[in-house]
Amino acid sequence: MSAKRIVIAGGSGFIGRALAREFTALQQGVVILTRSPQERADGIREVAWDGKNPGDWVSHLDGADAVINLTGKNINCPHTPPNLRAITASRVDSVNALAAALAQVKLPPRVWVQAGATGYYGDTGDQVCDEQAPGGKDALAEICRHWEGAFAAAAAPNTRKVTLRIGFVLGRDGGALPVLGRLTRWFLGGAAGPGRQYISWIHLADLVEMFLTAIRREHLQGTFNAVAPGAVTNAAFMRELRRALHRPWSPPAPDFAVRLGAWLMRSEPSLALVSQRCNPAKFLELEFKYQYPQLRPALVDLCR
């Protein structure tokens, strides 16, 4: 295995797969911690973990260059009390498990990059939120507070810690874009609810580069908004998606239709109706080079 080893907890998902491909292309060893490990022919090693307790996987952290934690139950489900508890536990437990593991190794990773979410800010309406903005008051904001609180409390004196509050990630093979794309092709790609709620989006390629930046730049620590610099309204987003998919018009979906659709799809309507207008102030200060700072080229790239 390469001298530089990256451990990705929860790395079998949409973002983790993209990161694993990128690190492999850079000739770095990749170990994915997952509940369902499989043999692979691409040089990536999958190792079993339960996301809660230290086990044999701990040895892979010893001498690793970095650990990335993406673990967490998908929020695209009805936000019932049991589901919200499971969403919280999956995130907090994984942070605590990694913290316990770091205390057991002789040479801990030099950096721990922890996934967070722009849900931390709650429903912000038209208010622009940089990293200094206060947390919100809804259920997902409360989950993010517990999540980030566990990371802040994790004792890792020899490991630099970075949190990326990730927005609405746009990619071809995961996240919400493929679903929205299918709906739009069926002429069901109208604005959701009022359409004035903001979407803080980011192209997957730029998100991958943000993780690389967090690992490579030795002075970086703290919390960063991992979003593109131009949040757009839901109506504007859907208009650009229709344009990219050559669907000039679709009827809007009023609140009741969004809620009905979410119920039929076993999803959560607030995911489409809450407004988050986030600004990546710290990445802009770093003069981070976005490949896709504007929505239209991002969607054209992903929908071609």
Domain at 63, CATH number: 3.40.50.720
Question: What's the domain count of the chain?
Answer: 1
Domain assignment present for 102: yes
Confidence of residue 30 (pLDDT cuts 50, 70, 90): very high
pLDDT of res. 216? 96
How high is the pLDDT of residue 2? 41
Kindly report each contact of residues 33-41 with a partner whose C-beta sits within 8 Å and lies 24 or more positions away, as own/partner. 33/7, 33/8, 33/9, 33/57, 33/60, 33/71, 34/10, 36/12
Domain assignment present for residue 57? The answer is yes
Has residue 247 been placed in a domain?
no
Q: Which domain holds residue 135?
A: 5-170+201-227
Q: Model's pTM, two decimal places?
A: 0.96
Residue 184 has what pLDDT?
96
Average pLDDT of the residues in 143-155? 97
Residue 238 lies in a domain: no
Closest residue by Cα to residue 194 from 113, 136, 252 = 252
Q: Tell me: the pLDDT tens digits for 194-222?
A: 999 999 999 999 999 999 999 999 999 99
Q: What is the pLDDT of residues 1-20, one digit of tens each?
A: 345 899 999 999 999 999 99
Q: In this model, does residue 228 exceed pLDDT 70?
A: yes
pLDDT tens digit sequence for 59-110: 999 999 999 999 999 999 999 999 999 999 999 999 999 999 999 999 999 9
**Does the residue 18 lie in any domain?**
yes
Q: What is the pLDDT of residues 179-188, one digit of tens each?
A: 999 999 999 9
Q: Is residue 128 part of a domain?
A: yes
Q: Indicate whether 296 belongs to any domain.
A: no
Strands 29-34 and 128-129: unpaired
Residue 74, domain member (yes or no):
yes
How much is the average pLDDT of 29-40? 95
